[in-house]
Structure 1
Amino acid sequence: MITPALHEAAARLLGDILEGPGAADARMDRFFRAQPRLGPKDRGVIAEAVYGSLRHHRLLCALAQTPEPRHVIAAWLAAFEGYNARQLQTLGVAHPEALVAAARADRDAYPFAVSASLPDWLAARLTTLLPASELSAAAAALLAPAPLDVRANTLKTDRATLQQAFASAGHELDPTPLSPWGLRRASRASLFRAPEFAAGHFEVQDEGSQLIAPLLEPRRGERIVDYCAGAGGKTLHLSALLANSGMLYAFDTSQKRLDRLRERATRAGCDNIRIQTLEAGPDNRLKRLYGKIDRVLVDAPCSGTGTVRRSPDIKWRLAFERVAHLAGQARAILTQASRLVRPGGRLVYVTCSVLREENEDVIADFLAEHGEYTPIDASGILTRRGIPFSARAPDADSALRLWPHRHGTDGFFAQVLQRG
């Protein structure tokens, strides 16, 4: 049961996230550091209320008939936590009977964008990307909290051994249905205190993300580039698939993210990674590698619309105008990275976006200007790797598209290209 004080704190935090820059998790961390008297249980109550309100924000505003954070939190309590008018009244909520009545009314009466808690532009794009028969399921999946997925680090353990270790510590995780390295826990749990984490036996990684590195089909001894490595989730997976052989370059323009990768690589026992910070735009230091790399991964900066289960604030911070900018950036990065690929080598373009502007349109423009590249069927690659994706993919072309409602993963797009 939330108290008046925690209700007020949740409202302050919700307003801070919606009004200020930066991701919700970072702003939440700062908020809690500034409130040291809040215990773990109180922080959990506040976080649940805030994330629930972010997920369903547009619907809650409609129910409360105002975007004022206190009323939005109250609407979440009424609509999703079952609070009655008396309970809301103890929190100082005005007109609690009307709010409870609105919360319990038929939500299908609202337009799709409202009931699905999406901005108009994103709701409109979903209707063009998916069959009408899938829209309700897609909306529900995007609103649901994501499970906790981890990837067993095969440099140090295997999935079955890791699963048993978790079970012995009281953490029940099930094998992921697609990734042969993944384990999943439906509810959130802190696994970072487990000795297996300190020993580098696993990394937290969405199952969809675990399907990306296999698309490169890395072979031992090859030279591979992760062009937008970030903090290195896919880099570490590639290192494991290479069994620490070959040369794996991790490039990014963010020194901070690459520093995080260094820490993770040390813990994971990855010895074949070479990390380098790039300049923004073309970096002349890479010319020595032009045409010499066997496989290149481009995990392009994007809108993150495939990850709204984990970061629901994206929906309210992202303007469509920003998507066009990101797509342009992705085109430039893909072109730069393609120069590294040797004849006969492979280039894989990936985003965690579901938007055509960042996915199919970028690939179409690239292929129009680079006739030496040919698309390869992604589902066939995964099938060869023992990942039975083809039976789950209704799309007819060669790209990989992952959706929460179809596959239980974050939303991803991947196109595999072979250089002639």
Structure 2
Amino acid sequence: MKILPYKNLFIGITDTLNNIFFEGKYADKEVERTLKSNKLWGARDRAFIAETVYDLVRWKRLVEGGMARPLSPETIWEFVGTWFALDPDQKLPSWEEFARINHKEILKRHHESAKNIAVAESYPDWMFEVCLDELGKNRWIEEAQAMNSAAPTVLRVNTLKTDRKTLQKLLKERSIKTKLLSLYQDAVELEEKTNIFRTDEFQNGFFEVQDAGSQMIAPYLRVEPGMRVVDACAGAGGKTLHLASLMKNKGQIIAMDIHEWKLKELKRRASRNDVQNVQTRLIEAKTIKKMANTADRLLIDAPCSGMGVLRRNPDAKWKLQPAFLDEIRKTQAMILNDYAKVVKVGGLIVYATCSILPSENEKQVQKFIENNPNYKLISDKTYYPSETGYDGFYMSLIERIA
């Protein structure tokens, strides 16, 4: 019989879940805030809090199916207790907060509610139906299950400063075990979760944390040293920095975004990585028009639903709404149509998303090509979590031919 840790940890867990579910906070930020709030918690305590919060966010609907009352701030302890009560080998402490927990009743309600596959896999009905419709039953069930597992931590080595084997050796000296990923040229995966950001190697810019699937996008653009490259939706610059490494710091990368705070973060990261060929630019009314026909390469890492990265951001399942999907598809079409003019004739574009939905991916590209005969699709690829074990991404390579 397994015994749960002391109550202080559960106060941290319930407070964190309240902020995620009822205050609209993001899970990763809230877990980080909670772990920083008590310096007396050891590594095992911190791991228990983080894993429990993410499990409960990921399996929210499944757990709710076993509850006698709807989830609310008043029933958050019952919610947590129900999760542990689903394990027949788990003994709950005799705390007042768990007084309503009845193992037999919870298991009875759970077995009944889990007959609904959307409940069993813990997705909102509308999302489950959209994905069934777009991907088909077999594909979607595989992806739904794959995205209910915890995301591995993958590093991208900064080849401007070091190489994979050297980084692996340096981390091993800190008792951080890693493995090289043969299919991903710059990727190193942690064998166990640890706070990698405290290491000198991170502070010195030897690596960035970047999922293996995400690491496939920059090489797909076929950049070369000396080119003029535009990263149209750069954000905080994960793929910008990868492009700079591939270009060996030669040429020019113009990293653009509509949010100035993201570009400031990009500059900070670029400095740590010793990246010297990046210029940031805030997107304003005439920015794109002024840049027409100037780029050898264009990366459009388009805003999307995030339907390929739910294992990493499980709270998105409960925050995302159908109306947002409709709006983001319109935004994607607008960005692809307007920004494509930035690239020169003979230049290449990569349109990418962290979604696995065809309506955000190949259908967007197909519609763009049909409406713009000056461009042709060279190739495209969808990386599915069920096949790779990493996040889901789509990328297409488009050439401007006239």
TM-score by length of 1: 0.87
Find out whether 1:97 has 2:100 as its counterpart.
Answer: no
Alignment partner, residue 26 of structure 1: 29
Find out whether 1:405 has 2:353 as its counterpart.
Answer: no
- Counterpart of 1:409, as a letter, is Y
Counterparts in 2 of 1:114-125, with a 5 A limit?
114-125=119-130
Instruction: Name the SS for the 1:375 alignment partner.
Output: strand
Find out whether 1:63 has 2:66 as its counterpart.
Answer: yes
Alignment partner, residue 204 of structure 1: 209
Residues 228-278 of structure 1: CA deviation (Å, up to 9, x unaligned): 000101000000000011111100111111111111111111111111111
Change over 3 Å in CA distance of 1:368–1:136 after alignment to 2: closer
Instruction: Name the SS for the 1:138 alignment partner.
Output: helix
Find out whether 1:72 has 2:88 as its counterpart.
Answer: no
Find out whether 1:141 has 2:146 as its counterpart.
Answer: yes
Alignment match of 2:318 (pick from 312, 316, 319)? 316
Separation in 1, partners of 2:111, 2:179: 36
More displaced 10-residue stretch of structure 1: 171-180 or 196-205: 171-180
Q: Which runs of 5+ in 2 are unaligned?
A: none
Alignment partner, residue 253 of structure 1: 258
Percent of matched pairs sharing the same residue:
33
Find out whether 1:328 has 2:330 as its counterpart.
Answer: yes
Separation in 1, partners of 2:180, 2:292: 40
Alignment partner, residue 7 of structure 1: 10
- Counterpart of 1:71, as a letter, is E
Counterparts in 2 of 1:223-302, with a 5 A limit?
223-279=228-284, 283-302=285-304
Separation in 2, partners of 1:334, 1:81: 52
- Counterpart of 2:146, as a letter, is A
- Counterpart of 2:77, as a letter, is R
Separation in 2, partners of 1:108, 1:19: 23
Counterparts in 2 of 1:173-188, with a 5 A limit?
173-188=178-193
More displaced 10-residue stretch of structure 1: 13-22 or 320-329: 13-22
Change over 3 Å in CA distance of 1:63–1:5 after alignment to 2: same
Change over 3 Å in CA distance of 1:141–1:294 after alignment to 2: same
Instruction: Name the SS for the 1:243 alignment partner.
Output: coil
**Deviation, structure 1 residue 117:** 0.5
- Counterpart of 1:97, as a letter, is H
Change over 3 Å in CA distance of 1:89–1:31 after alignment to 2: closer
Change over 3 Å in CA distance of 1:22–1:4 after alignment to 2: closer
Change over 3 Å in CA distance of 1:202–1:329 after alignment to 2: same
Alignment partner, residue 392 of structure 1: none
Alignment partner, residue 189 of structure 1: 194
**Quick check: 2:81–2:101 contact (8 Å CA) kept in 1?**
no
**Deviation, structure 1 residue 20:** 1.9
Alignment partner, residue 391 of structure 1: none
Separation in 2, partners of 1:202, 1:107: 47
Cα RMSD of the aligned pairs, angstroms, is: 2.3
More displaced 10-residue stretch of structure 1: 131-140 or 259-268: 131-140
Change over 3 Å in CA distance of 1:36–1:193 after alignment to 2: closer
Q: What number of residue pairs does the alignment pair up?
A: 393
Change over 3 Å in CA distance of 1:216–1:122 after alignment to 2: same
Separation in 2, partners of 1:121, 1:31: 31
**Deviation, structure 1 residue 40:** 4.8
Instruction: Name the SS for the 1:64 alignment partner.
Output: coil
**Deviation, structure 1 residue 36:** 4.8
TM-score by length of 2: 0.90
Separation in 2, partners of 1:123, 1:201: 40
Separation in 1, partners of 2:157, 2:219: 14
Instruction: Name the SS for the 2:79 alignment partner.
Output: helix
Separation in 2, partners of 1:109, 1:39: 36
Residues 262-298 of structure 1: CA deviation (Å, up to 9, x unaligned): 111111111111111112xxx3134342112111000
Q: Which runs of 5+ in 1 are unaligned?
A: 378-398
Separation in 2, partners of 1:199, 1:128: 47
- Counterpart of 1:273, as a letter, is V
Instruction: Name the SS for the 2:80 alignment partner.
Output: helix
Residues 375-402 of structure 1: CA deviation (Å, up to 9, x unaligned): 112xxxxxxxxxxxxxxxxxxxxx2111
**Quick check: 2:351–2:396 contact (8 Å CA) kept in 1?**
yes
